[in-house]
């Protein structure tokens, strides 16, 4: 395994990377048939270990510390947090529906508040490690619940751990940029900072014309003092690695350079993958890993959060590669083959974690290029010049 030297003038080399993991990650279930599987996080740790991506002395697995109910109430309505706590026994109360609880998307299940506390604590633990200058990279694969609102659950998300972490980092004096490469627009994070210039919010996602949450259009650029600090790139269906990379290089990289953040918080959902059943983009994990590899050089710290991904095999492989990319591991040895594991077997065979390249062609590719060019031109005029 080859990794970059990662040294720096500031005294903290990128040699403390924390993968935040609790053994309880695999204990919770949204119910039979629900597409969100918390067990993805368990399979991801297994895969990262199997590939040797925890073998360096500066890589470690960190158990989440505790988090208090009151901490969540700092970023969410206290009545909503009280309702979540009351739902922990899995029994229905009529008031839950007012908070988006008990729907097909966000069901009530036994231990739901324990689950919320656990994934929020894991993200907060990563943020704390960064605040205390103990880690350059922290990754919570069971994190990135970017749809949850201040007083409501939606889109499989109950508490917005992204906002919890960002508030911690802001309070600690850090300059925060948020980059979301999940297939679904991070509407909950956008709503939290739409009128706020303390956070640069960038989201590349499938267009809201064809995918939940039906938002995140390029003309949503913030308001008030936050105008110009929200950047949305609504990608057309079948966007491939090449086009995604073009958008990332031409917009995300210069935006981060202009903003000069101390820390990038990133939701790295793998539902952009061409195999994902809930979205219609055409990335491979090559494009995802390439994007993540470009984040840390633009900031001192990177906090990665899992987000979506509903084909488990491809999600686990993608997160494994993104963890490697975040740590400067740039080799792709021939032996990268996953064997064993309940999720990583298909017809008795292992699943390679390095995807075959894929490139769209023909009239659809030409139309997609024209659409992304149009969006990039919009931002060159309306957002990039405003970032300070």
- Residue 101 pLDDT > 70, yes or no? yes
Which residue has better confidence, 335 or 159? 159
Mean pLDDT calculated for residue range 11-27: 81
Q: Which residues are catalytic?
A: 147
Q: Residues 309-312: contacts with CB within 8 Å, 24+ apart? A: 309/40, 309/269, 309/270, 309/271, 309/273, 309/276, 310/35, 310/36, 310/37, 310/271, 310/276, 310/277, 310/278, 311/273, 311/275, 311/276, 311/277, 312/37, 312/39, 312/40, 312/43, 312/343
Write down the pLDDT at residue 334: 42
DSSP E strand boundaries for the chain: 17-20, 59-62, 137-140, 176-180, 199-206, 230-235, 263-267, 301-305, 337-338, 345-346, 349-352
Mean pLDDT calculated for residue range 355-360: 96
Inter-helix orientation angle 312-326/285-293, to 10° = 30
Give, in order, the Cα–Cα distances in Å from 106 to each of 19, 99, 118, 327: 26, 10, 17, 34
Give, in order, the Cα–Cα distances in Å from 374 to each of 325, 367, 369, 370: 30, 11, 9, 6
| Alpha-helix runs per DSSP H in 98-237 | 112-131, 161-171, 187-193
- Residue 273 pLDDT > 80, yes or no? yes
- The residues, any chain, with a CB within 8 Å of residue 3's CB and separated by 6 or more, are 56, 327, 328, 329, 330
Write down the pLDDT at residue 89: 97
- Residue 71 pLDDT > 90, yes or no? yes
Mean pLDDT calculated for residue range 319-329: 95
- Residue 231 pLDDT > 80, yes or no? yes
- Residue 345 pLDDT > 90, yes or no? no
- Residue 8 pLDDT > 60, yes or no? no
Write down the pLDDT at residue 332: 56
Residue 268 — φ and ψ, nearest 5°?
A: -115, 50
* Chain centroid to CA 82: 26
Write down the pLDDT at residue 296: 85
- Residue 152 pLDDT > 70, yes or no? yes
- Residue 15 pLDDT > 70, yes or no? no
**pLDDT tens-digit profile of 36-66?**
999 999 999 999 999 999 999 999 999 999 9
- Residue 170 pLDDT > 90, yes or no? yes
Write down the pLDDT at residue 236: 98
Mean pLDDT calculated for residue range 134-157: 97
Write down the pLDDT at residue 150: 98
Mean pLDDT calculated for residue range 171-181: 98
pLDDT-based confidence at residue 330 (cuts at 50, 70, 90): low
Which residue has better confidence, 175 or 12? 175
Contact indicator for 320, 48 with CB cutoff of 8 Å: yes
Instruction: State the Cα–Cα distance between residues 269 and 183, nearest whole angstrom.
Output: 7
272 upstream amide cis, omega within 30 of 0:
no
pLDDT-based confidence at residue 339 (cuts at 50, 70, 90): very low
- Residue 344 pLDDT > 80, yes or no? no
- Domains parsed from the chain with CATH numbers: 17-60+119-386 (3.40.800.20)
- Residue 246 pLDDT > 70, yes or no? yes
Which residue has better confidence, 371 or 329? 371
């Amino acid at each position: 395994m080859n990794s970059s030297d990662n040294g720096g003038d500031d005294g903290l080399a990128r040699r403390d990377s924390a993968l935040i993991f609790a053994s309880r990650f695999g204990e919770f279930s949204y119910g039979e048939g629900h597409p969100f599987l918390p067990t993805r996080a368990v399979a991801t740790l297994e895969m990262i270990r199997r590939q040797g991506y925890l073998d360096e002395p500066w890589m470690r697995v960190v158990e989440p510390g505790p988090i208090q109910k009151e901490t969540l109430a700092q970023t969410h309505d206290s009545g909503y947090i009280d309702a979540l706590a009351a739902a922990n026994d899995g029994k229905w109360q009529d008031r839950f529906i007012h908070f988006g609880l008990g729907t097909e998307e966000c069901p009530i299940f036994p231990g739901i508040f324990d689950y919320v506390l656990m994934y929020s604590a894991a993200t907060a633990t990563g943020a704390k490690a960064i605040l205390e200058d103990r880690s350059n990279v922290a990754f919570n694969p069971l994190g990135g619940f970017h749809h949850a609102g201040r007083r409501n659950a939606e889109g499989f998300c109950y508490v917005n751990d992204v906002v919890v972490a960002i508030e911690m980092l802001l309070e600690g004096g850090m300059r925060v940029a948020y980059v979301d490469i999940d297939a679904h627009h991070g509407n909950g994070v956008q709503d939290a900072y739409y009128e706020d210039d303390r956070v640069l919010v960038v989201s590349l996602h499938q267009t809201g014309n064809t995918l939940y949450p039906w938002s995140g259009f390029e003309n949503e650029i913030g308001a008030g003092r936050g105008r110009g600090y929200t950047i949305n790139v609504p990608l057309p269906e079948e966007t491939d690695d090449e086009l995604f990379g073009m958008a990332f290089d031409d917009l995300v990289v210069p935006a981060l350079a202009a903003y000069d953040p101390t820390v990038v918080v990133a939701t790295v959902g793998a539902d952009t993958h061409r195999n994902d059943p809930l979205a219609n983009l055409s990335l491979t994990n090559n494009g995802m890993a390439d994007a993540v590899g470009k984040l840390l050089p633009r900031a001192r710290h990177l906090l990665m959060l899992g987000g979506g991904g509903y084909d488990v095999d491809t999600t686990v492989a993608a997160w494994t590669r993104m963890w490697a990319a975040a740590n400067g591991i740039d080799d792709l040895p021939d032996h990268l083959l996953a064997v064993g594991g309940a999720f990583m077997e298909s017809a008795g065979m292992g699943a390679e974690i390095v995807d075959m390249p894929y490139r769209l062609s023909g009239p659809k590719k030409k139309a997609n290029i024209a659409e992304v060019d149009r969006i990039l031109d919009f931002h060159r005029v309306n957002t990039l010049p405003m970032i300070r």
